């Protein structure tokens, strides 16, 4: 009956293990074909399950005595052999689970996944693929910060892999892939983007490369997949989050000042703010897969609550069922780039 | 009586010469100590002045028979000797005016300014300093896209120059300077930002360097000056503009749907949207100076209307009166970096 076994680093993130355990229990209630494997301090995890009044059906526990915190070095994830993140990636490597969800120290998750699980043959560096809300629906941006030493081939591979991810996630057969640049015309930008554009232009048949896009296009839904190097992706993502917070704060201020002017008007503004908040929904797609890792690892925000964890687990199950990993691996081979220099 | 003579490329931008001429006339009405020099096709400019019913007091005309459009190559600005942008920078070079405002082809303005006017001694590359609205007020971001081959010394010089600009613009004596990075801890980021941080850390006494900042900090007013390389700055700026448009569009949609629910509530939402729009005000600081050029050149958006042009001219006059150019030049010398390799 179970068709997706998803491990969760129950100790990862600011709100672990309380919110992680609750999120896991919510996920298996939502989707009866998921089994979760909670990795962490068994006593603490059991206490949280009891506190939440959850059953133990489709819940397995794997003990890990150590934790890698947000302030720890990424390499600690490999050095601390009995840490929850290390135990989690071990389960993916051995095939005991179909995927892992990890909130908290992103660098640690990247390091442990790369070292323990390894990369898809031909892929040189993993990239983080985040899902952004847009005017039209959602887009995927890769890389959001795993790789700040990108080469053209890395970015080209992100395009191939993120396209398969978009197919699985959105069901679009020919997801549009855009390269984030500082002008839309051909020949614009620095060496990295110009050489990357050339690789995409002579790329595999399945790829729907639409060329350069500019910052304005990130949130207007122009593309399903947005490719950029990790430094740029990270700054874009955090700038957008920050701007969103500032605008939401201003709207709230204005709504409060509107209250004085009359109850009816305030209620209109309050309703608008509520809808605005729902429209945002950064947490709705709770996880960002590490594309390029030869196994499924989804990273969640360090401040993930139960809802974000739940959504990340549901998304991991969708990713697994879509067979995106197998399809990506085939496409990387088909691209004929697995032996080239980079 | 006149203490600021500001030239305007009357033919630059999508709405020239109509909006440029109107903006210039508005500026001299607002500020009686400004004289404007309208550079362009004299007949067209005179027709616009007549159409606007403006007087010719404190208005001079300089004829230029050619135009460099948005689709033209930056080098055309230098090759077309009788273009309005070339004539404009000539006026700055010769000292006939105290500054130039140019909307339209940014690359052309950068090329003409660099070649004709030259750079401040010791400065290697000009950078565009845009003013961003923040939660607290305004911040300056440099470089917004003039230099996509940044070296640490270029960024360090942007920090020095943008600090003087911030002093003149905001009146803050010790503007906080932050380096845009993908983490706030020391040692984070790629080679460029790490080496740049080291230069700032041992920089001149007057500089108030606060270290690395992340994308979240761009719009929260954490810093007065944000330093980044041109590719990143351009993408950040355009992403923010795009996100803003998407959010404003969503709010409008929600407001329209609210209309059906009752007139009173709709009016509350409409008022909120109006305030929201005012709060945004990208056009309020209509111009972005080209820091590093040994003369004052302010660049405006290609789609500038009369209000944006007016504000750019007013800002150019403020810049001139603040003596920021002289102070920047002194600080560059004081930094002891004018002879080092880069």
Contact with chain A for residue B231, Cβ under 8 A: yes
Residues of A in contact with B264 (CB under 8 A): 262, 264-265, 268
Q: Judge whether residue A224 has pLDDT over 90.
A: yes
B268·A264 Cβ contact <8 A: yes
On whether residue B331 sits in a domain, the answer given is no
| Final residue of a structural domain among A283, A306, A329 | A283
Instruction: Give pLDDT, residue B271.
Output: 62
Question: From the CA of B173, how many Å to the nearest CA of chain A?
Answer: 25
Q: Does some domain include residue B330?
A: no
Tell me the C-alpha distance between B8 and A204, whole Å. Answer: 50
Listed range (B22-26, B152-156, B189-193, B283-287) with the worst mean pLDDT: B283-287
Chain segment B120-176, per-residue pLDDT in tens: 999 999 999 999 888 878 899 999 999 999 999 999 999 999 999 999 888 888 999
On whether both B153 and B102 belong to a single domain, the answer is no
Residues of A in contact with B134 (CB under 8 A): 246
Task: Please tell me whether residues B47 and B145 are part of one structural domain.
Answer: no
Q: How far is A303 from chain B (nearest CA, A)?
A: 15
Q: Do B272 and A279 touch (CB under 8 A)?
A: no
Q: Please tell me whether residues A307 and A277 are part of one structural domain.
A: no
Residues B61 and B208 occupy one common structural domain: no
Query: pLDDT tens-digit profile of B212-241?
Result: 999 999 999 999 999 999 999 999 999 998
Q: Are residues B118 and B157 in the same domain?
A: no
Do B239 and B151 belong to one domain? yes
For A78-110, write each residue's pLDDT tens digit: 889 999 999 999 999 999 999 999 998 889 999
pLDDT beyond 50 at A190: yes
Q: Which of the pair, A228 or B280, is modelled with greater confidence?
A: A228
Judgement on whether residues B144 and B277 belong to the same structural domain of the protein: yes
Is residue B280 over pLDDT 70?
no
The ipTM estimated for the assembled molecules is 0.90
Q: Answer whether residue A257 shows pLDDT above 80.
A: no
One domain for residues B63 and B195:
no
Minimal-distance CA residue of chain A relative to B216: A242
Which of A283, A309, A324 is the last residue in one of the domains? Answer: A283
Does B51 fall in a domain? yes
pLDDT of residue A255 exceeding 80, the answer is no
| B43: in domain | yes
pLDDT exceeds cutoff 50 at B341: no
Pair A154, A237 in one domain: yes
pLDDT of residue A245: 83
Q: Which domain holds residue A156?
A: 128-283
B49 lies in some domain: yes
Instruction: Output the domain CATH number for residue B210.
Output: 3.40.718.10
d(CA B40, CA B8): 9
Q: Are residues A219 and A305 in the same domain?
A: no
**A66 falls in which pLDDT band (50, 70, 90)?**
very high
A245 Cβ under 8 Å from any chain B Cβ: yes
Number of domains chain B is built from: 2
Closest Cα in chain A, distance from residue B57 (Å) = 41
Q: What is the pLDDT of residue A171?
A: 87
Average pLDDT, chain B: 89
Same domain membership, residue A332 and residue A228: no
| Residue A227 to chain B, least CA–CA distance (Å) | 13
Over residues A69-85, the mean pLDDT reads: 89
Q: Residues A152, A253: one domain?
A: yes
**B171 lies in some domain:** yes
Q: pTM for the complete prediction?
A: 0.91
Q: Which residue of B has its CA nearest to A144?
A: B182
């Amino acid at each position: 009956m179970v068709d997706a076994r998803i491990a969760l680093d129950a100790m990862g993130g600011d709100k672990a293990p309380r919110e992680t355990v609750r999120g896991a229990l919510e996920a298996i209630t939502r989707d009866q074909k998921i089994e979760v494997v909670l990795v962490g301090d068994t006593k603490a995890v059991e206490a949280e399950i009891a506190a939440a009044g959850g059953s133990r059906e489709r819940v397995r526990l794997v003990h890990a005595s150590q934790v890698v915190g947000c302030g720890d070095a990424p390499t600690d994830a490999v050095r601390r052999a009995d840490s929850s993140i290390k135990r989690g990636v071990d389960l993916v490597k051995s095939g005991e689970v179909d995927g892992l969800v990890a909130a908290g120290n992103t660098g640690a998750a990247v390091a442990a996944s790369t070292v323990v699980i390894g990369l898809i043959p031909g892929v040189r560096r993993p990239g983080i693929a985040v899902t952004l809300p847009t005017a039209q629906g959602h887009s995927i941006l890769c890389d959001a910060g795993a790789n700040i030493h990108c080469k053209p081939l890395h970015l080209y591979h992100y395009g191939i892999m993120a396209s398969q991810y978009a197919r699985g996630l959105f069901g679009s057969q020919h997801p549009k892939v855009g390269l984030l640049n500082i002008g839309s015309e051909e020949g614009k930008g620095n060496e990295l983007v110009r050489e990357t554009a050339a690789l995409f232009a002579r790329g595999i048949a399945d790829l729907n490369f639409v060329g350069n896009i500019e910052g304005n296009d990130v949130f207007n839904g122009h593309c399903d997949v947005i490719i950029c190097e990790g430094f740029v992706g990270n700054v874009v993502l955090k700038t957008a989050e920050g701007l969103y917070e500032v605008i939401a704060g201003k709207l709230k201020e204005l709504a409060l000042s509107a209250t004085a002017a009359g109850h009816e008007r305030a209620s209109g503004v309050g309703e608008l703010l509520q809808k605005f908040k729902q429209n945002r929904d950064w947490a709705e797609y709770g996880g960002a897969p590490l594309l390029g890792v030869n196994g499924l690892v989804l990273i969640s925000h360090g401040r993930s609550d139960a809802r974000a964890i739940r959504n990340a687990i549901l998304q991991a199950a969708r990713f697994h069922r879509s067979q995106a990993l197998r399809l990506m691996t085939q496409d990387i081979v088909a691209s004929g780039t697995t032996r080239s220099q980079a």
